[in-house]
């Protein structure tokens, strides 16, 4: 069997393993159907006509720009990856430092990342204008630019280092590089899950412990009752950037903590905050992060094996102006293939995510036994975050990572009709 065929077989086997994990670990039916059938979904989610109209107007102003940005980024990536233009940029970026292959990879990735971001920057700026217009963003333009370039810097640095290792492996082991790189990619996914809250989150927000008081005591007690004690309850200075409401649980073991946006503390009563935190604790109780990490690791391994198969095609390499997977001029093609893979996997990831989020909603209701607070919280989140309570089906299928507000309220009504233990 040729090395190229081995890579294809490995990609298929890992893809099948990923499909099995998705099938087994996804909560396809997070809540049984109550007697008499499911509660009808109210497309307004109980929001006033003015709030619904405002959310729909916000979405109508933002969706076209988001879609154009996605397609423009894909088109630029294709232009650079499927022609020799990208290879020329890679070589030119490294020329001032002698043009060695290491500099071609590192500086080529940075140059391509900055170019890609510059192309879509006007659309991002338009999106920020819309968020300012509707009162969702509180960032100054200086802070917005800082956030954009910090994000680009982090992404470019991680991508450059990862691809440097990949190209080095391809140069050292031309037939089996994809196997070693796939194992490394899977390991990076696992490491990233543990290190993200410690290394990346502080680059964008400051965190302070929630002041001692009844709410802090109640949230720590809620985590204990959930069987997932946390080390701390922190408050993020999210209001520097947004008026949106959110909370989450991040970290593992000794780094696990509840994080509340300061906007949540300012605008929601304690029972609704407890409902949000109970939802996030549901993800911990059902090991959703660990399952997601396993899925990500399998997906990364399958993706790199697929790259091993694709980059064994002389025709594809010639189109990109590269000689082999160990040629640094292959970087634009690699980035394009990674972009396509991410785009193709997005609806699958979001389908799984919607079911996982629905199970966390059920967990929150089971833990707090307060469907009224849950419903009020969902309505306040939808109103404050300008979430369309009933988005177009195609948009929700592709981009929706959570059930809609209308669906979540109907599920809460179903929960109240069931005799849950």
Question: Residue 357, annotated ligand binder?
Answer: yes
Distances (CA, A) of 381 to 44, 216, 378, 409: 14, 21, 5, 12
Domain boundary among 278, 313, 336: 278
Same domain, 377 and 359: yes
Question: Residue 208, annotated ligand binder?
Answer: no
Catalytic residue among 128, 280, 380, 388: 280
Same domain, 270 and 346: no
User: pLDDT over 70 for what percent of the chain?
Assistant: 97
Same domain, 172 and 63: yes
Same domain, 322 and 409: yes
Which pLDDT score, from 0 to 100, does residue 289 have?
86
Same domain, 222 and 146: no
Closest Cα to residue 42, out of 409, 356, 416?
A: 409
Tens digit of pLDDT for each residue in 208-254? 999 999 999 999 999 999 998 988 999 999 999 999 988 888 877 66
Catalytic residue among 128, 288, 327, 361: 361
Question: Residue 283, annotated ligand binder?
Answer: yes
Distances (CA, A) of 153 to 113, 158, 200, 216: 9, 9, 12, 36
Domain boundary among 230, 251, 278: 278
Same domain, 240 and 309: no
Which pLDDT score, from 0 to 100, does residue 250 have?
80
Residue 417 scores a pLDDT above 70: yes
Domain holding 268, by residue range, is: 208-278
Tens digit of pLDDT for each residue in 332-378? 999 999 999 999 999 999 999 999 999 999 999 999 999 999 999 99
Which pLDDT score, from 0 to 100, does residue 48 have?
95
Same domain, 38 and 180: yes
Q: CA-to-CA distance for 137 and 126, rounded, in angstroms?
A: 12
Domain boundary among 261, 278, 295: 278
Residue 191 scores a pLDDT above 90: no
What's this model's pTM, rounded to 2 decimal places? 0.93
Please count the other Cβ atoms lying within 10 Å of the Cβ belonging to residue 307.
Answer: 26
Question: Please, what is the average pLDDT of the chain?
Answer: 94
Same domain, 299 and 259: no
Same domain, 98 and 228: no
Q: How many structural domains comprise the chain?
A: 2
- Catalytic, 280? Answer yes
Same domain, 193 and 318: yes
Same domain, 130 and 40: yes
Closest Cα to residue 90, out of 101, 74, 82, 76?
A: 101
Q: CA-to-CA distance for 295 and 303, rounded, in angstroms?
A: 12
- Catalytic, 225? Answer no
Same domain, 359 and 328: yes
Q: CA-to-CA distance for 24 and 296, rounded, in angstroms?
A: 15
Which pLDDT score, from 0 to 100, does residue 256 have?
82
| CATH number of 241's domain | 3.30.2010.10
């Amino acid at each position: 069997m040729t090395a190229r065929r081995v890579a294809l077989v490995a990609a298929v086997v890992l893809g099948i393993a990923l499909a099995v994990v998705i099938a087994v670990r996804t909560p396809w039916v997070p809540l049984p159907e109550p007697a008499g059938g499911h509660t009808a979904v109210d497309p307004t989610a109980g929001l006033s006509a003015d709030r619904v109209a405002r959310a729909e107007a916000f979405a109508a102003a933002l969706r076209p720009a988001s879609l154009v940005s996605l397609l423009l980024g894909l088109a630029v990536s294709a232009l650079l990856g499927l022609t020799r233009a990208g290879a020329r940029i890679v070589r030119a970026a490294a020329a001032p430092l002698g043009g060695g292959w290491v500099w071609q990879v590192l500086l080529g990735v940075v140059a391509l990342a900055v170019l890609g971001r510059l192309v879509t920057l006007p659309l991002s700026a338009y999106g920020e204008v819309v968020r300012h217009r509707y009162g969702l963003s509180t960032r100054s333009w200086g802070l917005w630019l800082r956030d954009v370039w910090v994000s680009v810097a982090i992404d470019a640095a991680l991508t450059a280092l990862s691809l440097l290792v990949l190209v080095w492996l391809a140069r050292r082991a031309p037939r089996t590089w994809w196997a070693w790189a796939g194992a490394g990619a899977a390991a990076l996914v696992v490491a990233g899950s543990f290190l993200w809250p410690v290394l990346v989150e502080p680059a964008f927000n400051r965190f302070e412990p929630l002041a001692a008081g009844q709410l802090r005591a109640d949230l720590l007690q809620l985590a204990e009752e959930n069987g997932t004690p946390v080390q701390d309850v922190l408050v993020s200075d999210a209001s520097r950037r947004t008026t949106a409401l959110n909370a989450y649980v991040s970290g593992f073991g000794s780094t696990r903590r509840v994080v509340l946006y300061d906007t949540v503390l300012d605008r929601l009563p304690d029972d609704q905050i407890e409902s949000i935190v109970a939802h996030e604790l549901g993800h911990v109780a059902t090991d959703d992060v660990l399952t997601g990490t396993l899925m990500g690791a399998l997906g990364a391994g399958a993706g790199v094996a697929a790259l091993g198969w694709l980059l064994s095609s002389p025709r594809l390499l010639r189109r990109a102006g590269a000689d082999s997977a160990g040629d640094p001029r292959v970087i634009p093609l690699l980035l394009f293939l990674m972009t396509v893979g991410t785009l193709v996997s997005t609806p699958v990831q979001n389908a799984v995510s919607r079911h996982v989020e629905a199970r966390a909603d059920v967990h929150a209701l089971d833990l707090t036994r307060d469907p009224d607070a849950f419903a009020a919280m969902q309505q306040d989140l939808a109103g404050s975050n300008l979430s369309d309570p009933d988005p177009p089906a195609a948009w929700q299928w592709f981009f929706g990572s959570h059930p809609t507000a209308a669906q979540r309220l109907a599920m809460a009504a179903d929960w109240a009709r069931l005799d849950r233990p």
